[in-house]
Structure 1
Amino acid sequence: MRSSTTRVRPVMPDSEELFHQALARATPEREHFLDRACESRPALRVRVDNLLQAHHASGGFLEDPAHPRQQPVDPADALGTRIGPYLLQKVLGEGGFGVVYKARQEEPLPRSVALKVIKLGMDTRRVIARFQAERQALGQTDHPFISTVLDAGSTPEGRPYFVMEFIDGVDLCRYCLERNLSVPDRLQLFVEVCRGVQHAHQKGLIHRDLKPSNVLVVEEDGRPSPRLIDFGVAKALHPQPALETAHTEIGQFIGTPAYMSPEQAGSTDRDVDTRSDIYSLGALLYELLTDSPPFDSTRLREASLIELQHILREEEPPPPSERARSTRLRGDLDWIVMKALEKDRRRRYSSAEALAADVLRHLADEPVLASPPSTVYRVRKFIRRNQLKVLATGAVLMALVGGGALSLWGWREAIHQRDQSEHRSHFVDSLMAGSIPATELVTQARATFGSDHSALAAALELGAEQAHAKGDLKGAMDLQEQALITWVEIHGELHLKVAASHGRLGALLQDDGAIDAAEGHLRRALAIADQADGPVRASLLEVNINLAAIHRRRGRLLESAAQLQTVVDIRRREFPEQQDALGRTLEDLSDVLTAAGMHQQAAEARSQMIDAFQRAYPEEALITADRHIAFGSWLHSAWFTTGSRLVDAEDHLRQGLAFYKANTRLQGPSYTTGLLALASLLTTQDKAAPEALPLLDEALASMARLHGTESLEYARVEVRLALACAATGKDERAARLQKHAFELRATELGKDFRPADSLLALGSLVRGIAQNKEAAAETYAVAAELVELLIMHAPERGEWQDLYRRLVESRDAARGEDQP
């Protein structure tokens, strides 16, 4: 993983961890430690203080607990010991809860590996969940620029660990400095980093901590090649239950401040998507070009949470050419970097591949998509980013610029407004930090803004978002309802602000399960939008999508499809640059049409989806290949209702597989899916299709690389291959494959194994072998062994005994004939 010792920024601890860390310190030092650890987090400080008071009140009861918590030890103390078959040789890195060692494996393959294990004393449930999430995250990726997981297990004490390839590499920026790489060479390396990030995004993962020390460079055949590491805080776009537990607690943030997007510094990570990694890539590119990050690292580390949020959300770093004082960077590279670093994520590059494509255009002296922002845009951006503050401080501006001459009264009024503005600004900062309870927000907002109803409504809506993010759905609905009432008082019923507010309230009610009320507000939002003047708002797209979900939930599939088609039409007309979002909507539309039995229309929607993703990622053939395979698999699954589409299915599958055959290092789960789908399609047309066996053989080899030969996934492909072998007269191989798959499933599933699921196929196979008078002795022998397994798991079936005797007799007879 790492070859040099680096310090990973610790994940912010929870109250239990801080309690034990504080308890380990002397009383005079304890207060200072907690002051620093709980800075800007008063609620956490209260919880820790309560734990300490309870501990002291126990009169020493907790001094010697039945199951004492291990105190942290020096990770170097473990060097020379073994974890599983791995000999620990060197500490490579240490984070808040884990340690990474360089280790040596001797069996079955001598090699150096990187082993990550939870620290002694840090094995809380939350930490273990986060640790397992990192392992799952890395396990889902399969790309030459991402470190791969080789093994996993637990120590005798129950601490989980996992093993990765050892990357003897150098920090990306340090590598560029030490080798004095030119700007074009640095940009080529950066493009490869983008492609690794793109692959992770395609697999549904956001890294969330991209920085130079998490990109190591190794040299292969004399040329540099990057490796992405440390997915310890990765977030799933579509999380499984195990991954959901790895999310940060409310009030915490995850990442490294110098490379963290503005949305990552919020009080919740629910608003973080792939565009957060685009920002971090922009910060990484900034440092590659200027040798320093966009903002001063020391200043960010020492800032309180509110100060950090202010810097990331409000302040603009100088363009790279100004920071580096280099005219060489002026123009394209300034524009590319600053587009990636946009505060408004909608204005960033839509994907890592789009960012890489613009860099490649610059290298090829072609026009880039990024461009310098206009003056009008900069003014509008300031107002959008500071909408609530503009509303809050507008009176100050009016007082100061309302006339050419300023009277004494006017000056005093301006001073009064300035003081009021500072009070409002402080309220807004607290609100954005999520530190005002929902129950107190209305009262505080009214006291702060008084008759400034627009600012009040905006504050209530922001508070509703914060409450929802914290899981306080009732508080969020109450605040949003108050905001809706306020907007109506300001604008009347027919206004886009009112429509958007109805939409937000409908979404919250939908989350709460109040479907009837939710549908009413969503319909009202669309009705108002139809009558109100103004441009189409992106928020109204969400209204249509939410209403489509309600239609689908209630079985109104045609209405759901119509609603999604509306979103598709609006996206094409109003937001043509958002091709990725268009592709996802078309995918949802296809799913609804499929459920409605409208397979031809569903197939057309999927075809348009492929086109949208190709436009969204023109340089990323991997995404296109995976979409071809997914579309081909879908067409094959619905072939009986799509008629000629069966030919289209084969064409799409072959297009996707052709990419992977030309790029063997990228072969992963999607490649295996394509092989299996194409083999299934061919055997549907001809059970003995000659191409099916080679496809299934390759699928089995691919599954072995992905999951090993003792996995359930491998067993499932063995069964598929066995059926193909039996259809082409290869009975002995079919029996061996079925026998191994049966034994493996019985072992892996344990009490959940149901042999009845396999009896029909196995019974047909062994009966066919028993009836064949010309089979080889080994074929009869393997079939007899298979029947022995059937007898063991289904002894009530008396026919197996007779079949076993016949096979043994045939085996012995065939062996006798073979004797000279």
Structure 2
Amino acid sequence: MDDAHWQRLSPALDALLELDAPARAAALDAHRRVDPAFAVELEALLALEAEHADFLAEPAVAALPHMRPGRQIGPYALERLLGEGGMGQVWLAHRADGLYERRVALKLLRPGLADPDLRLRFTRERQILARLEHPHIARLLDAGISADQQPYLALDYIDGEPVTDWCRAQQPGIAERVRLFLQVCGAVSHAHANLIVHRDLKPSNILVTARDDVRLLDFGIAKLLDTPGQAPERTRTGVRAFTLHYAAPEQLRGEPVTTMTDVYALGVVLYELLAGTKPCQPARASDAQWEQAILDVDPLRPSLVLQRGAGDGLEPIRRRRMARAIAGDLDTVVLRALAKAPEHRYPSVEAFALDLRRWLDGKPIHARPQRLSYRVGKYLRRHRWAVSSAALFAMTLVASMVAVSWRSQQALEESTRAQAMQDFVVGLLEQAGAASGGAPMDVRRLLDAGVQRGDAELAHQPVARAELYGVIARLRLGLGDDRQALALLERQAAILATAPDTPPGLRLQAASDRGRALRLLGRPHDAIASMQPLQALALQREAMLSRQAAELYTHLGRSRRDLAQFEQAAVLFQRALALRRDGVVPDEAGTVESLADLASLHSATGDLDRALAGTDAAIARLRARLDARHPLAVELLRTRCALLRAAARAREAEASCRDGLALALALHGMRHPATLDARRQLAALHVDQGRFAEAEIEFRDALGWTIARLGARHADVARIHNSLGIVAWERGDEAAALAALTRAVDIWRQTGADSRLADGLFNQAMVLQAAGRAAEARPLLHEALTLRRARYGAAHGLVGDTLRLLGEVEHALAPGTGRAH
């Protein structure tokens, strides 16, 4: 194997070795799809690694003599083997001398671990350890050496399972894991108060009972095994009296052990409870590499490890939720406990526990400097509904920037760019917060300031600046500021057009964002022209850039749907659904979006039953896998209302509409496009019910907000003009009706929204016919008929409605006979 080939294999192998079994299998599948021969080589190397991984795992001490049930060790009779490790065996035993009846966990130490002074030290230390009376500590009841020189330790027998096994079986939430861990902290803190350090904290020494109570084992055992005058963390045989994977750096260096050694081990345990893996994962599993990793390698944030596919068997959606819960404060707490230098850790277990309790209570933790942006974030989470939407979006900006940084870890240049952007965002928020004097931040001003500051600070990093523009543009789109977003995306496109070596993921994301903005501005043809050239790249990079590819397919499909190109839209929506639902890490929100997109095609072609069934399925998945108050629920409820209204199920339609409006108001406020859509929909229901005055008030209010936000020539503005025309006609004001409907038709013609144009033409012709102006109505109906036949087919009900009205017009125009021709 030449050096170049090994340089390609080595990093891929290292990445696989860091994954748990399910994630590793998924990653290998991805390699097979791209390069089957390369995947075969990786599998062979993994097999070789597994064969030799445990070569140095066992300590070089004498084996225990053969033990069997019924054998007596000191005053205890063995019942059954509970477990075996490097230091010996653990048996379930009972008192056999009749002094009292009690079952114990009897730990039998390997003979090589005993020394001539062990009996004396057992007697002395037994008295010290007897002080450890705590509900979460399994007491050391007895310690001695039997007549045949077998060292033993008798502890409370705890019928439980290791805390990691319990979490794997029960899959509790993050808060429940932290509360369970606080029981451990309480026990260790009690021991420290009695001047006892555990020295070997690990999951197998932390059992959880059937009542979900924690019991700690083996307190003081390592201390019992210390030989005076020797290195404090090794026995006379040179075997470690601690477990390597949970050892603190100072233990490996042979330095004095303190209470902060236990703080470090607790940090390792908490990391494993949260992330499902240990904080140090060397590429090779030898003891030497484990030691080097513990001494020199800083652990990744547990939330990041979860996002990359760890999680100890968790379902992807649950893993992502847990990663979001851990990100930020819990990451900081865990990494503080895992600091390499003892003086940089928490000064005590109680200080560690205090920060965890503060996290549970939603209060700021003590483990980091409290920057203004951090305090604002904590306040938002504690007072979620009392804070302005501007502050929420300010924190969304930070989250988006962090997401960008995670995408940029593949090379040193990208990592530097990501760090520059993180520093930029933190500085921006601090500056904006200081300038606000405590008043709510105006998010749009904040975003404008972000662009200005990015232009200055990222002037020599064009790709980073382009990424920043994309983040802020997406936030603008979320706010409904479609025109401002497009202006920023045009600037991004200009940068990327000249930037060398633009990452493919950024190119796809930029095209999707620009196409989305153009479509929202009623320019579906331009949207397709923007995205179509990138479709080949998306297809080529699906395996590695599935999220970006699915997003491009989604927005391209929606633009084609708007232009009644239903077959092409269906292919794109199905491809997006497959990538989102069937990926290595399923995208639940994206899956719901794609299901809704497919349902919308049934609606567009007039199949209301299938459209409603598809929408209900999307809503059910959203509620089961995500959250009933997810922003996607607003659009789904709006769609459901429209379908029920079309099916003449007025009461159900109004219930869905009001649910969607209430959620839109709670999530977005009064001025957001989603809220305006819901208000327009409710007004349309008022029209159906004959409540014209209420409907007109709602429509006119929505018209003002929509023009201010999207401009007077937007397709959404045309929809409101169309609705106002219907209201005016129902009130008998034909002139006002025609004026409003004419404005709607003019806008729809300009924007190319053919599906809406047919509706507007039909409504315009209906009013003209009622006003006795059949000759003006006839060409409008012929155009509407052509559009509806092309869109729905000849047998559709809307085509029939158009033919009936056309028949009435022809009849009115027939000379003398009264018959249509």
Settle same-fold status: TM greater than 0.5. Answer: no
| Larger of the two Rg values belongs to structure | 2
TM-score with structure 2 length normalisation?
0.33
TM-score with structure 1 length normalisation?
0.33
